[in-house]
């Protein structure tokens, strides 16, 4: 007597396959809820995962570039602050020089003014030597051009040599004949200083624009990645609940089928 049919075997196998497919759907929904992402492995969506990873790479590069830019802006701010102090010292030198040009001042008076200028020049040199960022000198002409990689391209902070621009002040003397004293040396120092500050200002503006562009791009890339990866919470919850209900029903059906087969076998053997 034949107690097992091919039909029952096929039905049983189909039922197992259906249970496995539903379990896979249930587990996928559970993982989406746990991670908040609908694409967790290449099996979920290989193309979406590859695109998402590329987006993450681009965003990461831009974030690192933004950090580089912030360092560059910090260095430029230090340089500009130092040059503002140099400008203050130049203002003191200019005032003393104009006083020394007054014929009513005595030689002793002009010597005092000359000593005050000498101290101002020392202050300028000290400011130049102390203008550093991460131990890199910014104003003495020793740094060379500094490249700032922004994540997508690069910007350059051009070398500043304030030491050379202020060099003529070392021999600038206002202690002699007032009719021969001139402000030409100071005017040139002011002009050179203004050019350097204009350069720093333009470079700062450029880096700030690059920083803002980076952040906007990262925001857009993050949104694009979210659209590719982020799970639809409502759909995931629905899938999770539905697959759970289906799974319970399938288990009950399988149990009933097995009990039915067992009863049939027992009856056949008893008969």
Confidence (pLDDT) at 3: 45
pLDDT at 230 over 90: no
Confidence (pLDDT) at 260: 61
Q: Sketch the domain layout of the chain as residue ranges.
A: 52-228
Confidence (pLDDT) at 108: 96
pTM above threshold 0.85: no
Residue 149: strand, helix, or coil: strand
Between residues 264 and 203, the one the model is more confident about:
203
The listed CATH number (3.40.50.300, 1.10.8.100, 3.90.1150.10, 1.20.1330.10) that belongs to domain 52-228: 1.20.1330.10
Q: Tell me how far apart the alpha carbons of residues 96 and 238 are, in angstroms, rounded to a whole number.
A: 83
Strand partners, 132: 137
Q: Are strands 146-149 and 136-137 parallel, antiparallel or unpaired?
A: unpaired
Output DSSP code: residue 182: -
Mean pLDDT of 12-26: 56
Which residue, chain included where needed, has tokens 């350069």?
Answer: 199
Confidence (pLDDT) at 102: 94
pLDDT band at 2 (very low <50, low <70, confident <90, very high): very low
Q: Tell me how far apart the alpha carbons of residues 100 and 172 are, in angstroms, rounded to a whole number.
A: 12
Which residue, chain included where needed, has tokens 């600038």?
Answer: 172
pLDDT band at 212 (very low <50, low <70, confident <90, very high): very high
pLDDT tens digits for range 97-126:
999 999 999 999 999 999 999 999 999 999
């Amino acid at each position: 007597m034949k107690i097992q049919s091919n039909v029952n075997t096929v039905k049983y196998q189909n039922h197992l396959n259906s249970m496995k497919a539903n379990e896979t759907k249930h587990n996928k929904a559970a993982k989406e809820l746990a991670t908040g992402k609908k694409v967790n492995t290449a099996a979920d969506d290989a193309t979406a995962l590859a695109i998402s990873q590329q987006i993450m790479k681009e965003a990461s590069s831009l974030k690192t570039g933004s950090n580089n830019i912030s360092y560059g802006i910090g260095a430029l701010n230090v340089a500009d602050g130092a040059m503002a102090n140099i400008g203050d010292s130049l203002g003191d030198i200019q005032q003393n020089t104009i006083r020394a040009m007054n014929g009513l001042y005595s030689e002793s008076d002009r010597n005092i003014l000359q000593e005050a200028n000498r101290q101002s020049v020392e202050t300028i040199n000290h400011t130049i030597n102390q203008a550093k960022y991460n131990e890199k000198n910014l104003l003495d002409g020793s740094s060379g051009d500094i490249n700032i990689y922004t994540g997508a391209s690069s910007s350059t902070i051009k070398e500043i040599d304030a030491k050379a621009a202020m060099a003529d002040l070392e021999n600038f003397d206002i202690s002699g004949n007032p009719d021969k004293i001139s402000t030409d040396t100071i005017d040139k120092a002011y002009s050179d200083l203004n050019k350097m500050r204009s350069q720093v200002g333009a470079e700062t503006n450029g880096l700030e624009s690059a920083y803002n562009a980076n952040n906007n791009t990262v925001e857009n890339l993050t949104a694009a990645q979210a659209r590719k990866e982020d799970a639809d919470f409502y759909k995931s919850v629905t899938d999770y609940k539905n697959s759970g209900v289906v799974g319970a029903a399938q288990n009950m059906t399988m149990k009933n089928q097995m009990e039915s087969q067992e009863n049939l076998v027992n009856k056949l053997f008893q008969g």
